[in-house]
Amino acid sequence: MAKSTRKTIPSLADLRRDIDRIDAAMHELLIERGEIIDQLIAVKKTEETGSAFRPAREADMMRRLVRRHHGSLPLDTAESIWRVIISTFTYVQAPFAVHADLSAGDALMRDSARFHFGFTVPFVPHMGAATVVEAVSGSKGDLGLVPAFAIADAGPWWTALEFTSAPKVIARLPFVERPNHPAALPVFVISRVAADAMVTETEVWSMRVSGWSAGAVQALAELADVIAVPDRAFDGAALLISVPTGGIHEVSAALVKIGASIRSSALVGSHATRYTIPQ
């Protein structure tokens, strides 16, 4: 007699039991992760200063998450769940607050903050980038969120990051770029982190330039992302430039070539190169 090859279709009750089993296993793993964090706190003995975030490790983990992701679960959901987990456990390890500049829109910035940091981490609203930088500067390990292309009437907020003891740009969100991202507002994250935790794939520079013009804008268009604010002191502009590591030399050469004069420059942070997913 031929053996039947028909597959047994699981019942609705069986499928629900499987879901309950998976949910319980995920919860147990989260509890286990918390226990490891407790050990981590004991090992560190809270001796570290600054933010407990490690941007280099986070970027690496996000790249791996995207590469292995498949199936019907939207990537938006998987990324958001992971970010809430890591941010919450970081908060448990070393409590911090997120200070956010709402000048680009309250809803847009809150979407970005909640998507990347969840609801457990305290959210502190500000109206202007300068007050965000000031709040982070006076904290032990808080984060600041500033719209990446916002130009404040008060002038170049990034010059406050030039000092050695000042916080720096440590990340650029969203890290995983894709069409219709639920938290698409371009944001710089500002904080203090250990030097060995930084990502140096993209450098962020503060620069003052005399002779800033439309020609200068065109010269830099293909080399870097640039924010420029008029600077009357030099009859030019104060710039915030994001460029691949080492690319600042090309930027300087391009400005000199068109007759612009570079008065000063300072490295004010770095971050991971954005991970772009094509449509």
Give the sheet arrangement for strand 225-231, strand by strand: 123-126, 98-101, 143-147, 187-191, 168-173, 261-271, 202-210, 236-244, 225-231
Domain 203-271 top-level CATH class: alpha beta
pTM over 0.75: yes
Average pLDDT over residues 240-267: 90
Question: Does residue 202 contact residue 245 with C-beta atoms inside 8 Å?
Answer: yes
pLDDT band, very low/low/confident/very high, at 37 (cuts 50, 70, 90): confident
Calculate mean pLDDT across residues 266-279: 86
pLDDT tens, 197-229?
888 899 999 999 888 888 888 888 888 888 888
Report the largest interatomic distance among the alpha carbons of the chain, rounded to a whole angstrom.
95
Residue-wise pLDDT tens digits, 149-193: 866 556 789 999 999 889 999 999 999 888 888 999 999 999 988
Task: Sketch the domain layout of the chain as residue ranges.
Answer: 49-197, 203-271
